[in-house]
Amino acid sequence: MTVTPREYISQIDKSANYIRGIIGSAEIPGICTVLGSGLSPLADHCEDKITVPYADIPGFPISTVEGHEGKLIIGTLEGKRVFMMSGRFHAYEGYGTDVCTFYVRVMSKLGVKTLILTNAAGGISPELKPPELMIITDHIGFFCISPLIGPNLDEFGVRFPDQSEVYDSEYVSLLEDKAREAGIRIHKGVYAYCKGPQYETPAEIRALKLWGADAVGMSTVPEAIVAAHCGMRTAAVSCITNFAAGLNSGKLSHPEVMMNAARASDDSCRLVKLFISSLN
Ligand code: HPA
C-alpha cells in the first residue's frame, strides 16, 4: 500500500460519497459487473444510464489498456439496478493490487453484495476451445501479490479470511443452469492468475496444468480475494480467447485475444444478462 491505511480508507469514502451523490435519490445498485474483454456491449442494454469517467471519481485509478475504457456505468439491466465497470486495473499496468481492487472496496462501501467478474483467459484444459466460456469455480493465486497485505482493514473483513468458497457455489450452479437454458456451451474450471503482461511460457503452462489449472489470465484473482474479504458473493466467467502457450503451434497475441473475446461477446452478454435477471 503506497498510502497509509487511514488515507486509503478516506479515499474509498470519498469515491463512494461522490458516486452516492451522482446517484442522488435513485436506488443504489446491489450488483456490480466488471465488463471484461468482449463484454462492453452489455452497457448498451442498460437503461436509465449514468456514465461517470473514472477520471472524475476522486481516488479512482485510470485504466490504460486498449479495450478497457475507464468508466463507471450506473443503470438498470433486466429490471435490476447495476454498476458496470467498463475497464479494470491490472498489476501489469504498474498498479499495486491494493489499487487494482480499490473499486471493489468502494462497491462494498456502497452496499454491493454481488460481484460479477468476467475476463479473457487462455485455455489449458483440452476441453476448452476458443471462444467458449468457462465458469470459474476456484482459482490459483500464488503469483498474485495479495491485495490484503499490510495492516488489515478491519471494517471490511478479518485478518485471515477463509478462501474455501471464493466463487459462490450457488452462483456457479445458477450460471451453469442459465447457460444450458440459453444453449450456450459452457465449462467449469479453475483459473490460474499470472501477473503478465507477458504471456506464459509453454513450461509455465505445463506447470500450471499439473497444479490443476484449466485456464490462465491476468486479472480477476485480486478482485475476488478482496470481494471474499468484504463478504461479497462473487460469480466469475472466463472467455477462453486462445489456447494457452505451447498448446498449439501459433504464437499468442493481444489482437487474437480481442478477436475471440468479440466472437464470444453475444454469448457472454446473454449469459450475464440471464444471470442478473435471475438474481433475487
Ligand atoms: N494468458 C494470460 N492471460 C490471458 C491469456 C493467456 O493465454 N489469454 C487472455 N488473457
Pairing of strands 133-140, 186-193: parallel
Tell me the pLDDT band of 3, cut-offs 50, 70 and 90: confident
pLDDT in tens, 154-181: 999 999 999 999 999 999 999 999 999 9
Domains in the chain, CATH or no CATH each:
5-277 (3.40.50.1580)
What does DSSP say about strands 114-123 and 233-243: parallel, antiparallel, or unpaired? parallel
Per-residue pLDDT averaged across 134-139, rounded? Answer: 98
Catalytic residue among 15, 43, 86, 90: 90
Largest CA distance in the chain: 56
* 131 C-beta closer than 6 A to ligand 1: no
Q: Note the pLDDT tens digit of each residue in 105-115.
A: 999 999 999 99
The yes-or-no answer on residue 187 being catalytic is no
Say which residue the cell 480475494 belongs to.
Answer: 225
What is the predicted pLDDT for the residue at 66?
62
Residue 121 C-alpha to ligand 1 middle, in angstroms? 4
Of the candidates 203, 215, 241, the one whose C-alpha atom is nearest the C-alpha of residue 140 is 215
114, 235 in Cβ contact below 8 A?
A: yes
Distance between CA atoms of 98 and 103, rounded to whole angstroms?
Answer: 10
Instruction: Based on the residue annotation, tell me whether 219 is a catalytic residue of this protein.
Output: yes
User: Does the predicted TM-score (pTM) go above 0.75?
Assistant: yes
What is the Å distance from ligand 1's center to 207 Cα?
15
pLDDT tens digits, 215-231: 999 999 999 999 999 99
Query: What are the tens digits of pLDDT across the range 259-279?
Result: 999 999 999 999 999 999 999
59: its cell numbers? 481516488
Q: What is the pLDDT of residue 249?
A: 84
Q: Given this model, what pLDDT does residue 1 score?
A: 64
Task: Please name the residue whose Cα sits nearest to atom 6 of ligand 1.
Answer: 122
Cβ–ligand 1 contact at 268 (below 6 Å): no
DSSP-based three-state secondary structure for 3: coil
Instruction: Identify which of 132, 199, 209, 248 to mutate to test ligand 1's pocket (most ligand atoms within 8 A of the CB).
Output: 199
- Residue 37 known to be catalytic: yes
- With a cut of 80, say whether residue 73 has pLDDT above it: yes
Mean of the per-residue pLDDT values of the chain? 94
Whether 54 is catalytic: no
> Of these residues, 108, 125, 238, 242, which one is catalytic?
242
Taking only the tens place, the pLDDT of each residue in 26-69 is: 999 999 999 988 898 999 999 999 999 999 999 888 766 665 56
Query: In this predicted structure, what is the pLDDT of residue 231?
Result: 97
Q: How far is the CA of 219 from the centre of ligand 1 (A)?
A: 9
The reported pLDDT for the residue numbered 67 is 54
pLDDT tens for 189-223 read: 999 999 999 999 999 999 999 999 999 999 999 99
Write down the pLDDT at residue 214: 98
Known catalytic residue: 218?
A: yes
